[in-house]
Amino acid sequence: MADLSKFGIPLDGNKLGMLQPKLSYRFRILFNNFGINDNLRELTANVMSVTRPAVTYQEIPVHSYNSIAYAMGKHEWQPIDVIVRDDITNAVTSAVSSQVQRQLNHFEQIGPVAGTNYKFSMQIHTLDGTNAEELESWQLDGCFLTNVVNNEFNYESGGEFMRVQMTVRYDNATLLSGPNDNDGTTVGGDPFPNILDGFTGGTSIG
């Protein structure tokens, strides 16, 4: 095995060495309470990409005699985009359409009474590439769709996948460490207990 201790950034007279970076293509998304909870396994299997959560804090100026200091104000989690393939079973379009209808019955023009009637939750797992061990997990709560775009039909596309792009607004995001954190323990509980049960079988998760 090659000695990589000579590589890396020097600090205090020693080289720090090189650490394995997380790879952007090793991930999965789990959905809970999305739509009518059908075809969620297929929805996970067809995910193409997702943006990671980002947060912005307001700056409140505090004026004094000769200067301005700043206090931290309210924060806002930025929306994320999820792109999924539209497979020939219609599982993806069925799941997305049921969530859209759940947020507002467009035919009857009837809206939900409260957020619990239409909001869902998500997990974004960073995986290690072996047995789907989680390096970390983003837990997103209070999610709903603010934009759904189906890509166009095009005779000149040359065989591109049909896809659905969803913009997700959420109330809060929590980053949970996986089994490969510094002390080897998992931080926080599992907000999706048993969600992977039957993931390789024929039943839907969620």
Give the Cα separation of 170 and 121 in Å (integer): 8
Q: What is the pLDDT at residue 191?
A: 45
Q: Model confidence at 25, in pLDDT bands (50, 70, 90)?
A: very high
* Mean pLDDT confidence for 100-114: 89
Number of helical (H) and strand (E) elements in the chain, helices listed first: 2, 11
For 166-203, how does the pLDDT look when each residue is reduced to its tens digit (9 = 90+)?
Answer: 999 999 999 997 655 444 344 444 444 433 343 333 32
Dig out the tokens for 159 from the structure: 């065989």
Q: Could you give the C-alpha distances from 190 to 33, 121, 166, 197, in angstroms and in order? A: 16, 13, 25, 13
> How many residues does this entry show for the chain?
206
Q: What is the pLDDT at residue 133?
A: 82
Per-residue b/e over 134-160, b at no fewer than 16 CB within 10 Å? bbbbbbbeebbbeeeeeeeeeeeeeee
For 124-143, how does the pLDDT look when each residue is reduced to its tens digit (9 = 90+)?
Answer: 999 988 877 889 999 999 99
Q: What is the pLDDT at residue 8?
A: 76
CB 125 within 8 A of CB 28: yes
Q: What is the pLDDT at residue 178?
A: 62
Dig out the tokens for 142 from the structure: 């209070």
